[in-house]
A and B are shown apart, each in its own frame.
Chain A
Amino acid sequence: MRWRHLDRSLLLWLLAAGVLVALVANPIARLLWTSVQGTGGLTLDNYVTAFSRWRYVEALGNSLILGLSVGALCAVFGVPMAWAVSRTDMPGKGLVWIAVLGTFIVPNYLSAVAWILLAGPNAGWLNRSWTALTGAAAGPFNIYSMPGLVLVVAASSFPYMFVFTRSALDLISSEMEDAATTLGAGLWRTTLRVTLPLTLPAILAAFIVAFLEAIAIFGAPALIALPGRFQVVTTMLWQFFEFPPKVEVAAAYAMPLLAITVLLFWLQQRIIARKGYIALTGKGGERRMVRLGRWRWVVLGYCVFVTSLSFFLPMLVVLQAAFAKAWGRGFSLDNLTLHNLRFVLVDQPLTRAATVHTFVYGGVAAVLALVLALAIAYIVRRGLVPYGRVLSYVAMAPFVIPGIVLAIGFYASYTSPPLVLYGTAWILILAFTTRFLPIAYANSDAALRSINPELEDAVRILGGGRLLALRRVVGPLLKRGLAGAFILVFIPATRELSSAIFLCTAGTQVLAVLLFDKSDEGNFEYLSAIGLILVAGTVAMVLAGFRLVGRDFMLRRTAT
């Protein structure tokens, strides 16, 4: 009689929980384990090696300088723009919005390629314009430097600052500002003393995100810092993997990066959770736009300047290079060619395969992440296994692991028996799945939250099991939300470089890695063509997302 009482779908839930733990916990555990492995058993030698050379410590310092500078520059870029779009009558807000979205879409390594074209010593467009205008012997810009790297990374990360600040500003009612105005404060004083302090927690949170992004990033530093002869943590980690790979030292060296990230994310959550200070009631009340008068053209000018650095100029030179016989010959009809695109997409088997890999791996990873995330979110929401909440933390954990660190964990886990995945596509797919699982989880959870559990109870009481309820009711209702989530995972998975770079092998190249590998050859026309394919793929997905889910779906990712 008792067997009738057993809910057989329980096995499925336990399986999902098992897969999750294996996927997330195994690489992290192996990373920690590997970092204390020596020839004669447990040892701290790896840590000694990793932090005893000045070169290695200097790279750590450089990463901190990079992170702090990028955070600050992001604030300089993003905060005024957010204020202009949210609170003023500045014209051209639609243009600014598109440019910010465009910045999200351009991968940081493509942005680095573009800035090499723009501000490379001597040959860069900006330097050539300078010499042409002033008659000077050499241009003033050198992108292969720390300021150059800061500019490139900040230009591609400032949308976080913009989005965070803007959503905070959107919640401040004009009444709060009016209260200051009626007491005799002018516009500037009100903005500086009331509006800005109210958004400070959001700015601080965005600063942390930008900082973490900057220290975890691999592509831009690899393209700019290495030729500029300086190192940051991520490029250092990459060098530990040059033959023969020193995985143990790399694991030890990755620990500060991991620790800082976990700590700062914790801090950021604390800041966001302090609602009392922010006084963002959500009701907002009536909001009026600040009238800028003639100043609005100045403000618009600033927005155009920032988005030119982040989007318009980089895209312009990438497009030019992708369709040029030689990018240095400039904009002219006889310089136009489709050869680069055709070469990448059709002629060269290696790049052709990489294109296919990129979208197939990304797609498979997105599906896997979504299925797993949905199962876990369902288990947690419906309380199907004891201690379900722990599972939700595990699913969100990759969010605080830099991609490059996760990749080292995957490398350590799956290059030796019992499970050898290195060299196959699966190690990439599983790494992407794990890395972007939090995006899938946050979206699945939000989608599930909108479904009244009584809809499933109704299926069950009429005689259908849980799985039938999922198939016939929950599934169809989640379709739209999950389509959006799929795109949000698919996009970063197709562009992922920092974890792919450690896990790719000759047979499993993806476009991002190919672009990085080809950068040695200095053939910027091909690099631009590869980048353009990635951007085009992303744009197509984003447009599909708009159609399916609505205009704000890209921003949900950052809202979590």
Chain B
Amino acid sequence: MSKLVLTGVGCRFGDVAAVDDLSLAMVSGEFVSLLGPSGCGKTTTLRMIAGLLHPTSGTITMDGAVISSPGSSLPPEKRNMSMIFQSYAIWPNMTVAENVGFGLEIRRFSRADIRARVDQILEVVHLGHLRDRYPSELSGGQQQRVALARAIVVQPAVLLLDEPLSNLDANLREEMRYEIRRLHDEFHITTVYVTHDQAEAMVTSDRIAVMNQGRIEQVDAPRTLYARPRTRFVAGFIGRTNFLDGEVHGDKVVFDHFTIPRARFPEAGSLHGRVSFSLRPQSIHLHRVQVPQRSLGADEGACVIAGRVVQRAYLGEHWDYAVRPLDSALQLRVTARPHEVFEVNESVWLELDPGQLAHIHDKVAHPG
């Protein structure tokens, strides 16, 4: 278990900056995901941590020692790390046991010791009965488990995973997410996990670093990331959301044909000029009759706004409504439970909690 610190790391390929001034500090035993769309630099970052790519600026340190810098990088074989690749990279010319035992062999463990450890880890990933099979005889999920076992058995200082589940079918993918988290809870290896799938990141990670165009937009625990996204990109990338743009006028924030008292926002003090918020569809509730007057304009509770349903879709687990506040050009997406049925064109009341309006700091410098 090791402390991994990236400071101002950049990687340029010709004129293109794949990773740009990226900083991230991980504590020992932490599980951090790098989450972002394809081409955002997350795999490049991971490969730099592995030593398979060299940064063109910045440094990477492990337990205080510089392992990567533009001048020279410690080759991957001397970093005591493990990596799970998108292709699994299971060696087709070796059996399951030979694959898993390879790292131990390099570390000069005795033959008996290798055998014992391999058998033990294969039990952990439920592959004990397949130890003498060749990879071509295994299913995708089983190959994935071999890759996991091979990476973990050497007890690396850092475990790196590069989109390890992207080649599996949906059910298996869901199962393996929990498997990966279970193994982390068991072995507490410092882990960096690259994915473009937010659900994967949410299930597995202690913290998620959302990346966009070579930079980290926000690093936070999954719940914080979802509830309080700090940039428009993060809000849009993690789950679905509504963006509300308004302007501060005295003690009110004026939106398109409705206002909310400024004091009601958690960050009231820092709001001025033009402001933007992200509001999750689940944070809005629809009512057929107006909720008691007590909440309107008061300092506590929800705000209620009159509106009209413009579109709806039934998705089984929930309703998806598009509602337009009266006279407003804005369309809000609202998620409602299956029994909350409203017709298109029906007049409704939108109830929203200003406490759940997350202030978007797009002009703010990148954190870290």
A and B are interacting partners: yes
B-contacting residues of A (Cβ < 8 Å)? 2, 4-7, 452, 454-455, 457-465, 468, 472-473, 476-477
What residues of A have a CB within 8 angstroms of the CB of B75 in the complex?
A: 5, 7, 460, 465
Chain B residue numbers with a CB within 8 Å of A452 are 87, 89
State the Cβ distance, A460 to closest chain B Cβ, in Å: 4
Given A461-B50, A461-B82, residue A4 in contact with residue B103 (CB < 8 A): no
Decide if B131 is an interface residue (CB 8 Å cutoff): no
Whether A5 and B106, one on each chain, are in contact in the complex, defined by CB atoms closer than 8 angstroms, is no
The 6 closest A-B pairs by CB, nearest first: A462-B103, A458-B89, A454-B89, A5-B72, A476-B93, A454-B85
Give Cα distance in the complex from A346 to B268, angstroms.
Answer: 104
- Which of B75, B81, B106 has most A Cβ within 10 Å? B75
30 contacts across the A-B interface (CB closer than 8 A): A2-B72, A4-B74, A5-B75, A6-B72, A7-B75, A454-B86, A457-B50, A457-B52, A460-B75, A460-B76, A460-B77, A461-B50, A461-B79, A461-B81, A461-B83, A461-B160, A462-B77, A462-B82, A462-B150, A463-B77, A463-B78, A463-B80, A463-B107, A463-B154, A464-B106, A465-B75, A472-B91, A472-B102, A473-B93, A477-B93
- Among B85, B91, B151, the one with the most A-chain Cβ atoms within 10 Å of its Cβ is B91
Tally the A-B contacts, defined by beta carbons under 8 Å. 74
Residues of A near B154 (CB, < 8 A) are 462-463
B77 touches A461 (CB 8 A): yes
Inside 8 A of A476's CB, which chain B residues have their CB? 93
B92 within 8 A of A: yes
Most chain A beta-carbon contacts within 10 A, residue among B50, B79, B87, B150: B87
Provide the bound-state CA to CA distance between A34 and B203, in Å: 73
Q: Does B356 contact A (CB under 8 A)?
A: no
- How far is it, in angstroms, between the C-alpha of A431 and the C-alpha of B106 when the chains are bound? 41
CB closest residue in chain B, given A468: B106
B259 touches A (CB below 8 Å): no
A473 to B85, CA, bound (A): 16
Chain A residue nearest to B102 (CB atoms) is A462
Residues of A within 8 A of B23 (CB): none
B73 within 8 A of A: yes
Interface residue from B86, B91, B103 paired with A463 (Cβ < 8 Å): B103
Knowing A5-B74, A463-B103, A468-B106 touch, does A458 contact B81 (C-beta < 8 A)? no
Complex: A2 Cα to B151 Cα, angstroms = 27
- Whether the pair A455, B80 counts as a contact (CB closer than 8 A) is no
Interface SS of chain A:
helix
Interchain CA distance A279-B83 in the complex, whole Å: 44
Residues of B within 8 A of A477 (CB): 92-93
B-chain residues with CB within 8 Å of residue A455 when the two chains form the complex: 89, 91
Min Cβ gap A9→B in Å is 10
Residues of B near A5 (CB, < 8 A) are 72-75
Complex Cα gap A354–B52 (Å): 51
Given contacts A463-B77, A463-B154, contact A458 B85 (CB under 8 A): yes
Contacts of B82 in A (CB 8 A): 461-462
Write out the residue numbers on chain B whose beta carbons fall within 8 Å of the beta carbon of A459: 77, 91, 102
Contacts of A473 in B (CB 8 A): 91, 93
**Chain A hits for B73, CB < 8 A:** 5
For the complex formed, measure the closest distance between the CB of A16 and the CB atoms of chain B, giving whole angstroms. Answer: 19
Nearest-Cβ distance from residue B91 to partner chain A, whole angstroms: 5
Q: How far is the CA of A459 from the CA of B154 in the complex (A)?
A: 13
CA distance A363 to B86 in the complex (A): 40
| Complex CA distance for A289 and B241, rounded to whole angstroms | 59
A174 to B78, CA, bound (A): 58
Q: Are B77 and A465 interface neighbours, CB within 8 A? A: yes
Considering only CB atoms, which chain A residue lies closest to B154 in the complex?
A: A462
State which of A2, A457, A463 has its C-beta within 8 Å of the C-beta of B106: A463
How far in angstroms is the closest Cβ of chain A from B99?
Answer: 9
Q: Which of A4, A463, A472 has the most CB of B within 10 A?
A: A463
Which residue on B lies nearest to A452, using beta carbons? B87
Task: Report how far A407 CA is from B106 CA in the complex, Å.
Answer: 47
Assess whether B83 is in contact with A457, with CB atoms less than 8 Å apart.
yes
Cα distance A438–B199 in the bound complex, in angstroms: 50
Instruction: Add 20 more A-B contacts to A461-B82, A463-B78, A477-B92 (CB < 8 A).
Output: A4-B78, A5-B72, A5-B75, A6-B72, A452-B87, A452-B89, A454-B85, A454-B87, A457-B89, A459-B102, A460-B76, A460-B77, A461-B50, A461-B76, A462-B77, A462-B150, A463-B103, A463-B107, A464-B102, A473-B91
Chain B 77-136 interface residues, beta-carbon cutoff 8 Å to A: 77-83, 85-87, 89, 91-93, 102-103, 106-107
Rounded to whole Å, the gap between the CB of A201 and the closest CB of chain B is 34
Residues of A within 8 A of B79 (CB): 461
Cα distance, A465 to B78, chains bound together (Å): 9
**CA distance in complex: A461, B160 (Å):** 10
User: Smallest CB–CB gap between B274 and chain A, Å?
Assistant: 47
A462: B residues at CB distance < 8 A:
77, 82, 102-103, 106, 150-151, 154
Q: Which residues of A contact B51 (CB under 8 A)?
A: 460-461
- CB-CB under 8 A from B103, the residues of chain A are 462-463
Between B74, B85, B89, B160, the greatest number of chain A beta carbons within 10 A of the residue's beta carbon is seen for B89
Centre residue among A4, A7, A461, A462 by max chain B CB count within 10 A: A461
**Cβ-closest chain A residue relative to B75:** A7
- For the complex formed, measure the closest distance between the CB of A537 and the CB atoms of chain B, giving whole angstroms: 31
A455 to B81, CA, bound (A): 16
Of residues A4, A457, A465, which shows the largest number of chain B Cβ atoms within 10 Å of its Cβ?
A457
Closest to A456 in B: B89
State A459–B85 Cα separation when bound (angstroms): 12
Name the distance in Å between A448's Cβ and chain B's nearest Cβ.
Answer: 15
Query: What distance in Å separates the Cβ of A369 from its nearest Cβ neighbour in chain B?
Result: 25
CB distance from A530 to the nearest CB of B (A): 42
Point out the residue from B76, B93, B150 that lies within 8 Å of A457, measured CB to CB.
Answer: B76
A5 and chain B: residue at smallest CB distance: B72
Nearest chain B CB to A384's CB is how many angstroms away?
A: 12
- A residues less than 8 Å from B83 (CB atoms): 457-458, 461
Residue of B nearest to A2 (CB): B72
B35-91 interface with A by 8 A CB criterion: 50-52, 72-83, 85-87, 89, 91
CA distance A413 to B244 in the complex (A): 79
Give Cα distance in the complex from A480 to B295, angstroms. Answer: 78
Q: Once bound together, how far apart are the Cα atoms of A462 and B104, in whole Å?
A: 9
Residues of the A chain whose Cβ atoms lie less than 8 Å from the Cβ of B52: 457, 460-461
